[in-house]
Amino acid sequence: MAASRYKVFDIDIGGYVESVVAWIQSNLGVILDAISVGIDAIISVLEDFALWVDPLVMALAIVAFGFWRVGVGFGAFCLVAMFLVIEMGLWSETMSTLALVLSASFVALAMGIPLGIAMARNDLVEQIVKPILDFMQTMPPFVYLIPAAIFFGLGKVPGVIATLIFAMPPVVRLTNLGIRQVSQEHIEAGLAFGCTPRQLLTKVQLPLAMPSIMQGINQTIMLALSMVVIASMIGAGGLGNTVLTGIQRLNVGLGFEGGLGVVLLAIILDRITQTFGARRGPGLFTRVGRLLTQRPTGTS
Amino acid sequence: MSKLTVRDVYKVFGPQPQKVRALIEAGRGKDEIFAETGHTVGVQAASFAIEEGEVFVIMGLSGSGKSTMVRMLNRLIDPTWGAVEIDGQDITQMSTRELTALRRRDMSMVFQSFALMPHQSVLHNTAFGLEVAGIPRSEYEERALRALEQVGLRANAHSYPDELSGGMKQRVGLARALAVDPSILLMDEAFSALDPLIRTQMQDELLELQREHRRTIVFISHDLDEAMRIGDRIAIMQDGRVVQIGTPQEIVTQPANDYVRSFFHGVDVTQVFGAGDLADPECVAVIGGRGSQAASTRAGAPAVLVADDGAYRGMVANGAADTEPDPAAPAAVRGDTDLHTLIGQVAHSDWPVPVIDEHGRYLGSVSKSALLETLNRAG
């Protein structure tokens, strides 16, 4: 062994990591439990709801949503996709995966967007966070499964945690980038009209960064979906489990069906979330608000 | 008291500006200082006072420090040294809180590339300053609509910026600035991004708005025609220094240096001067009025007849002999007559053309040679 000749210091990185993990496990148990309870609450509520609703109602709601946000053609696609999922007998797996993806994405966004804002406002924070994001994105995702399983056991909670770590970087990066790309003149306009730093953020920087942030949200949801198959190895369940079973039994048909379910879900989530990045025009809430506040004209 | 006073203001960009002070005072050039220390001198030793209701144009080539200068007036850029006083209050000493209040109350700004918020309607863009200041919605919408009316865009209140042309966008920018009813309006190359026809139109509209309600306007421009059209006074900046301040006429007739002179190479002087600026009281002998110059009239030379109160009575062909106005003499023109009209009058007359003010008093006369000389000087 040529390299071992230069191995002088005997640095045992793996050993250090193990002792850190062991220390966390024995000393930060309360925090781990709190995280576990919180995540479990989110995913249980979502999953229970998705499975409690009658499949036909849920499927039609998804079709209607696709029709409203994207268009007629996409509504038709959603209809076909929902039909296929039900006919393949993968409805509960699909809903379970949807719940897992949405809860992991929700936590990733709740942490990632504020982190991205902090990065944009402070160069030091950016310098510290950037290498951590690089680490999170380049570390093979399987590696997260081990500490996640150690800290949180097997099941959906470690699945969500491994998924959110893997999926968070894009929204952090694109929030940071979007805010930093707001033109100097827009910032100056905000300041010249007397914005406080907080108003500058909420009235100028965030709205102008919104297309970029929405792209980050879209990317995060997509990455979360691509992690579900891996997360099923620690018992996250859902469509990933179907694929995993297909692999274990060398059952091509079953594996393909599970994979197809993931693809259909990915397309639906992708197209729908992309429509929120479009910049112009009032959003749903503004429009509904206007309908409620504006009195109909002509009749008085 | 002046509305806005700038006292000995400097801006040095770089980590240790105090190191550069001595070099600037030693009279070292901007490029030299940058090569030696890596610091950029944006503005140096700028001092001027802007009066209430005045349109003050700051002109210069790019890199002359004019954009930095205007940003120091509302502290988007903090001056390194010196004082900027608004109504006698030094804004460089203000806390962030006071500064924010000042920006909301007293001054607003119009930007070169409009800087409108693409996600908001024209109405909400216009109301931006009012909304930020915490004015309730019902009131700010009404005031924004009034501002839009002033710029002729009331009908477009519910459009979005990307549905508007460049000229309309800048009208929204102007309406946004007018909506807060500021006493000072800062306009940073506000019309430079517009095509020439729209630019002239916007200049006219700005002048029209000034006629209705005089505000103090600081206008940044690199275009002399524009500066001449709208400016009551012009400050010319070169390498961060204010090299000359004066009325458009003063700048054209007595440029401080070659840099200033180079600006109006090819400028249309007919825009700058009126008949009153060219009228020369010495051009033609005057008979009558206070300080009669009858003695200086030469036989055979034309002369002007003036009443005791200075009112213009007419001209005579022979100053030494005639005493009644000659019907062949050219009609007098008013002092505010533009040069285009004046050229025609002078060309068709064998006499110098007399110029009178709005009360009919004689100002002087314009001879062919004087007119040609003026046109030539700026050509």
Which pLDDT tens digit goes with each residue over A158-172? 999 999 899 999 999
A184 near B CB under 8 A: no
Residue B132 lies in a domain: no
Residue A13 lies in a domain: no
Residues A192/B74, Cβ–Cβ less than 8 Å: yes
Q: Give the mean pLDDT of A42-54.
A: 91
Indicate the residue of B76, B118, B176 with minimum beta-carbon distance to A279.
B118
Residue B291 maps to which CATH number?
3.10.580.10
Would the CB atoms of A281 and B160 count as touching at under 8 Å?
yes
Residue A292 lies in a domain: no
A198 near B CB under 8 A: no
Indicate the residue of A194, A207, A281 with minimum beta-carbon distance to B133.
A194
Residue A283 lies in a domain: no
Mutate to test the interface with B, among A186, A193, A208 (most CBs of B within 10 A): A193
Amino acid at A281: G
Range of the domain at A273: 28-278
pLDDT exceeds cutoff 90 at A208:
yes
Beta strands B303-306 and B312-316 are: antiparallel
Q: Give the count of domains, chain A.
A: 1
- Cα→Cα distances A256→A81, A93, A246, A249, A261, Å: 15, 14, 8, 13, 9
Residue B281 lies in a domain: yes
Mutate to test the interface with A, among B67, B107, B119, B186 (most CBs of A within 10 A): B119
Q: Give the mean pLDDT of B215-220.
A: 94
Amino acid at B326: D
Residue A213 lies in a domain: yes
Confidence (pLDDT) at B125? 93
- Residues contacting B138, CB < 8 A, separation 6+: none
Per-chain mean pLDDT for chain A: 87
Residue B84 lies in a domain: no
Residue A107 maps to which CATH number?
1.10.3720.10
Residue A192 lies in a domain: yes
B142 vs B339, higher pLDDT: B142
Residue B315 lies in a domain: yes
Range of the domain at B355: 275-378
Residue B33 lies in a domain: no
Q: Give the mean pLDDT of B171-180.
A: 92
Contacts of B193 in chain A (CB under 8 A): none
Q: Give the count of domains, chain B.
A: 1
How many CB contacts within 8 angstroms connect chain A with chain B? 66
Residue B362 lies in a domain: yes
Alpha carbons A90 and A40: distance in angstroms, whole number? 23
Q: How far is A272 from chain B (nearest CA, A)?
A: 20
Q: Identify the closest residue of chain A to B177 by CA–CA distance.
A: A193
Residue B42 lies in a domain: no
Residue B336 lies in a domain: yes
A298 vs A241, higher pLDDT: A241
Residue A216 lies in a domain: yes
Per-chain mean pLDDT for chain B: 86
Residue A9 lies in a domain: no
Residue A18 lies in a domain: no
pLDDT exceeds cutoff 90 at B366:
no
pLDDT exceeds cutoff 50 at A297:
no
Q: Give the mean pLDDT of A269-274.
A: 88
DSSP code, position B240: T
Note the pTM of the prediction, 2 decimals. 0.76
pLDDT exceeds cutoff 50 at B160:
yes
Strand order in the sheet with B353-356: B333-334, B353-356, B362-366
Contacts of A183 in chain B (CB under 8 A): 113, 115
pLDDT exceeds cutoff 50 at B122:
yes
Indicate the residue of B103, B117, B160 with minimum beta-carbon distance to A192.
B103
Indicate the residue of B109, B113, B160 with minimum beta-carbon distance to A192.
B109
- Residues contacting B111, CB < 8 A, separation 6+: A185, A188, A189, B173, B188, B190
Q: Identify the closest residue of chain B to A195 by CA–CA distance.
A: B132
